Amino acid sequence: MRIVVLVSGAGSNLQAVIDAVQSGDLPVEIAAVGADRPGTLGLERSAAAGLETFVVNFRDYATRADWDAALLTAVAAYEPDYVVSSGFMRIVAPGFIDAFPGRYVNTHPALLPSFPGAHGVRDALAYGVKVTGCTVHFADAGVDTGPIIAQAPVAVLDDDTEDTLHERIKVAERALLIEVLGKLAAGSVL
């Protein structure tokens, strides 16, 4: 199973996938890692792991449609079986979803459909939920919407900050993402 992973930031979930692949625990080939901006830790981690990387810098395109087309061309060139949005903080165009039907997987740090968006951890904390968690789902062209593949709960502690809660969620999220990718590779996700 060939995957292209898309990242915008630190790429700690990506690092967990890289580690699982390199240790032989995950029968997946990371064909490339793509980003919407240069100079991120996620790209650094990928280069350090010897992976191919590419940047489709949002700022380099005059229109949103131009960027959408460039992203699709860049990703499609690797002929991935699945595209994984791992902290990729951009909504892709409907044309991207059409190009990879049921093959665009996103991970989100909340129990969707609650708390979608860029601040899922902060929003859950602000609401005062006692349990939140993470979701891995097939993404559509909405904001963190699309059929759910797997979820894991994480308890909110009284003294949690956004950072402490996000760190615990990410521990669960990494394990969940690797589990889901393993199942996709085995063909056991319906």
Catalytic positions: 108
Q: How far is the CB of 115 from ligand GAR (least distance, A)?
A: 9
- Taking CB atoms within 8 Å and a gap of at least 24, the contacts of 43-48 are 43/7, 43/11, 45/11, 45/14, 45/15, 45/18, 46/5, 46/7, 46/11, 46/14, 46/18
Q: How far is the CB of 62 from ligand GAR (least distance, A)?
A: 26
Is residue 160 a contact point for ligand GAR (CB under 6 A)?
A: no
Binding positions for ligand GAR, 29-88, rule CB under 6 A: 42, 86-87
Question: Helix axis angle, 41-48 relative to 12-22, nearest 10°?
Answer: 10
Show Cβ contacts of residue 124 under 8 Å, excluding neighbours closer than 6 positions. Answer: 110, 114, 115, 132, 156, 165
Q: How far is the CB of 125 from ligand GAR (least distance, A)?
A: 14
Complex with ligand GAR: residue 79 or 151, whichever CB lies closer: 151
Is residue 108 a contact point for ligand GAR (CB under 6 A)?
A: yes
Is residue 137 a contact point for ligand GAR (CB under 6 A)?
A: no
Is residue 120 a contact point for ligand GAR (CB under 6 A)?
A: yes
Exactly one of 4, 5, 13, 21 binds ligand GAR (CB under 6 A); that residue is 13
Exactly one of 36, 68, 140, 173 binds ligand GAR (CB under 6 A); that residue is 173
Q: How far is the CB of 17 from ligand GAR (least distance, A)?
A: 9
Q: Which residue minimizes CB distance to ligand GAR? A: 87
Exactly one of 36, 68, 140, 144 binds ligand GAR (CB under 6 A); that residue is 144
Point out which residues bind ligand GAR (CB under 6 A).
Answer: 7, 9-14, 42, 86-87, 107-109, 118, 120, 144, 170, 173
